[in-house]
Structure 1
Amino acid sequence: MATMNVSLSKADEDWVEERARTDRYDTPADYVRDLIERDRIRHAKIQAMQGLVDEALASGDSEHGMSEILEIARARASALGL
């Protein structure tokens, strides 16, 4: 596993160490890895949702407004488990 050094403010360092102590993490590095994984999942969901919105907009379906298109995309995303 690669090592990366990151500079944190004292407040951020204290936060990470506190979270590692009080939550389910063995080390501060475990906490940071969990944050990265959660961000990856969030990013994938946003990308999938954007793809659904783009698909809906490209369909040329003029009977729906933007808010309806977003609702349709949300419903499709939910059906896909996103």
Structure 2
Amino acid sequence: MEKVLNVKDIIGGQFTCEDAILLKSNFSNDNDTITLDFTGIDEVPTTFFYNLFSDLLYTTDREKSFQHIKVKNLSDISNYNKVVQGTAIM
């Protein structure tokens, strides 16, 4: 089952990195796929993605975790990739 979360609808267009906690509360612990839709948001900083995914990065297998998390409509995916791939190299 896929769950699509429109980020702007949940945390608004003017958000802070701490708002990632609010978005994270919409994640479930099952194996459903979560798609984060960034429609209407111009720039998302690396620190936002780190706050959003820090629990996953340190408590579960990185590759397995991100099989169930997808993103779409990001204007620049490089900040997402830095966090998900665990490197600043693109």
- If each structure's strand is expressed as a fraction of its own residues, which one has the higher value? 2
TM-score normalized by structure 1? 0.22
TM-score normalized by structure 2? 0.21
- If each structure's helix is expressed as a fraction of its own residues, which one has the higher value? 1
Report 1 or 2 for greater relative contact order, CA contacts < 8 Å, sequence distance ≥ 6: 2
